[in-house]
Amino acid sequence: MTGIPTASLRVILKIEVLPQASEQLTDFCRRLGMTQVATTSRLVEWLWGQPDVIQAGILGLYPEDIRSELPRMILERIAAEKKPQ
């Protein structure tokens, strides 16, 4: 697929959010002068660019009983991954 601009290689997704989240997104976008599509696209692209442990934390995939320890655990894991083997 050479010669095709990257901007045309897009996938359109439909999302479902609670009414309060929709209102907050609308207010946020209005304040920044961004569309909801641009905002959610950037958020999704940012999330998938994060390490797995950050993604899991943001998505609330860790058990409640260890959530207070998460920041330390995540920082330790990221530091260990960056150390030369």
Domain ranges of the chain: 19-49, 51-85
pLDDT, average across residues 73-77 = 85
pLDDT, average across residues 6-33 = 90
- Residue 36 CA to residue 26 CA, distance in Å, equals 7
Q: How much is the pTM?
A: 0.69
Tokens standing for 72? 């330390």
Whether 39 shows a pLDDT value over 80: the answer reads yes
Of 56, 49, 60, 44, which Cα lies nearest the Cα of 36?
44
Distance of CA 77 to the CA centre of its chain: 19
Yes or no: say if 45 and 55 are a contact pair by the CB < 8 Å rule: no
pLDDT, position 85: 63
pLDDT, average across residues 14-41 = 96
